[in-house]
């Protein structure tokens, strides 16, 4: 089994829209379900939903509570265990502080992007870094991705996912699943 010191963060602000303007994006409950399920499948320690918007935080917590404390958890214990990984934070910095308190070790942030940069690293390189004495957070952006400023603030940038076509705009839940599979299974 993969010995994980890996976390996932799904950022809703600051992200960019298709015109490259900084925006906040809407929380979608299917992202919560699917990323939580991928996270538990691949041994992730926690999944942070990052939104500064109070109404979205309330919605996220209502979904989490339904599946972890309410009738949903009784009807579907597998879904309950997955959604128990989710935590809601106002900022990525708040999530990092929570991980540092929980793990008592440094936290390395890893930005994801559909854009290739000269600084990005391969999944193979990341797998080697996961063996270091630190926690690691894969940072995903909603909408059209993380802002350049947020990407640059991260410690590492992961190579983008490329397929067989020129099209490169995966749903965040698909990208999360692909990255986690590649990281855990060494593909």
Encode pLDDT of 38-68 as tens digits: 999 999 999 999 999 999 999 999 999 999 9
Which residue from 46, 52, 32, 184 is spatially nearest to 102, judged by alpha carbons? Answer: 46
Check whether 74 has a pLDDT greater than 90.
yes
**Residue 3, pLDDT score:** 56
Residue 53 domain-assigned?
A: yes
Pairing of strands 15-16, 22-23: antiparallel
38 within domain boundaries: yes
Q: pLDDT-based confidence at 1, cuts 50/70/90?
A: very low
| Structural domains of the chain, count | 1
Distance CA 165, CA 154 (A): 28
Short-list 144, 113, 160, CA closest to 23 = 144
The domain of 19 spans 6-185
42: CATH: 3.40.1280.10
Q: Kindly report whether the global pTM for this prediction surpasses the value 0.85.
A: yes
Q: Is the pLDDT of residue 181 over 90?
A: yes
Let me know if residue 28 belongs to a domain: yes
Phi-psi category of residue 120: left, alpha or beta, with phi > 0 → left and psi -120 to 50 → alpha: beta
Question: For 110-148, what is each residue's pLDDT tens digit?
Answer: 999 998 899 999 999 999 888 888 999 999 999 999 999
On whether the CB atoms of residues 50 and 97 are closer than 8 A, the answer is no
Q: Is residue 56 part of a domain?
A: yes
> pLDDT, tens digit, for every residue of 75-84?
999 999 999 9
Q: What angle do CA 169, 171, 173 make, to 5 degrees?
A: 145
> Could you tell me if residue 86 is inside a domain?
yes
Residue 1 lies in a domain: no
């Amino acid at each position: 089994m993969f010995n994980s010191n890996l976390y996932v963060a799904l950022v809703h602000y600051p992200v960019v829209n298709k015109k490259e303007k900084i925006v906040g994006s809407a929380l979608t409950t299917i992202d919560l379900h699917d990323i939580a399920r991928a996270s538990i499948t691949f041994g992730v320690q926690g999944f942070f939903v990052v939104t500064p918007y109070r109404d979205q935080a309330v919605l996220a917590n209502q979904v989490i509570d339904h599946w972890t404390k309410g009738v949903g958890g009784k009807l579907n214990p597998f879904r309950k265990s997955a959604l128990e990984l989710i935590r809601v934070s106002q900022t990525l910095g708040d999530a990092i502080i929570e991980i540092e308190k929980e793990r008592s070790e440094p936290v390395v942030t890893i930005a994801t992007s559909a854009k290739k940069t000269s600084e990005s690293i391969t999944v193979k390189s990341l797998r080697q870094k996961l063996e270091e004495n630190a926690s690691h957070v894969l940072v995903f952006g909603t909408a059209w991705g993380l802002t350049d400023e947020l990407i640059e603030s991260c410690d590492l940038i992961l190579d983008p996912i490329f397929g067989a076509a020129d099209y490169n705009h995966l749903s965040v839940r698909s990208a999360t699943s692909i990255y986690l599979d590649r990281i855990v299974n060494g593909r």
